[in-house]
């Protein structure tokens, strides 16, 4: 079957993408690794010894970045609805974060640990209808914030991908109620045309 013009253009852009080429060279599973690396370089969220959860982790590039930094005294817990090939020193559960049973299994894996950091690059399956996609995305973000309320230690941080839409301001308000400081980040590795930005909550109350 012939590829459409748009998919050909995507493929050409992807193959020629500077960050895709860097990811292949540096051994990361996806270009998204450089979003986290850039934010972490600025904000020092992940350090040796950090205990963190990676929500929406597949294919695993954020978990790879985190595991390389936290070292032997830290820990990375990851969850995604999609399968993820194993990563050394990363504890992974495959399942739907929206499913209570799956979430309970993930919480059991934490073993009562309070987290220093929660990172979420979760996104829904894209339908192509922006209103529906934004609503689904913010539902996931709300669940992530609930998880943060339950498992992030005082003083901890939360990094979450959001899309700018009608739910953005209420979500920002909810984060400001929970964190001493909330800032936005748009790393260079985010595609220019993407409406995604990252919200970073620092100093959990």
Residue 128 counted as an annotated binding residue: no
Q: So which residues are the catalytic ones?
A: 161
Q: Structurally, how many domains does the chain consist of?
A: 1
- Domain that includes residue 47, residue range: 30-204
pLDDT (0 to 100) of residue 14:
62
pLDDT (0 to 100) of residue 128:
82
Residue 121 counted as an annotated binding residue: yes
- Tell me if 156 is assigned to some domain: yes
- Tell me if 185 is assigned to some domain: yes
Q: Under a CB-based contact definition with an 8 Å cutoff, are residues 82 and 94 in contact?
A: yes
- Tell me if 106 is assigned to some domain: yes
Which CATH number is 131's domain given? 3.40.50.150
Residue 80 counted as an annotated binding residue: yes
- Tell me if 20 is assigned to some domain: no
- Tell me if 14 is assigned to some domain: no
pLDDT (0 to 100) of residue 56:
98
Cα 148 to Cα 157: distance, rounded to the nearest angstrom: 9
pLDDT averages per 10-residue partition of the chain, 205 residues: 64 74 95 97 98 98 98 97 97 97 98 97 87 90 98 98 91 98 95 88 98
- Tell me if 7 is assigned to some domain: no
Predicted model pTM? 0.92
pLDDT (0 to 100) of residue 2:
55
- Tell me if 91 is assigned to some domain: yes
């Amino acid at each position: 079957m012939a590829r459409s013009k748009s998919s050909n253009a995507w493929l050409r852009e992807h193959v020629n993408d500077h960050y895709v080429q860097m990811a292949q060279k540096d051994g990361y599973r996806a270009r998204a690794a450089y979003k986290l690396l850039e934010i972490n370089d600025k904000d020092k969220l992940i350090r040796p010894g950090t205990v963190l959860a990676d929500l929406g982790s597949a294919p695993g590039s954020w978990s790879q970045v985190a595991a390389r930094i936290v070292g032997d005294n830290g820990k990375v817990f990851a969850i995604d609805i999609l399968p993820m090939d194993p990563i050394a020193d990363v504890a992974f559960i495959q399942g739907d974060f929206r499913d209570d049973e799956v979430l309970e299994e993930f919480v059991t894996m934490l073993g009562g640990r309070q987290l220093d950091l929660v990172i979420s690059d979760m996104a829904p399956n894209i339908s192509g209808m922006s209103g529906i996609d934004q609503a689904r995305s913010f539902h996931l973000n709300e669940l992530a914030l609930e998880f943060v309320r339950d498992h992030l230690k005082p003083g901890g941080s939360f990094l979450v991908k959001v899309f700018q839409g009608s739910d953005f301001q209420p979500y920002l308000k909810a984060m400001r109620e929970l964190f001493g400081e909330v800032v936005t980040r748009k790393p260079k590795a985010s595609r220019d045309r993407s409406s995604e930005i990252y919200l970073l909550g620092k100093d959990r109350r």
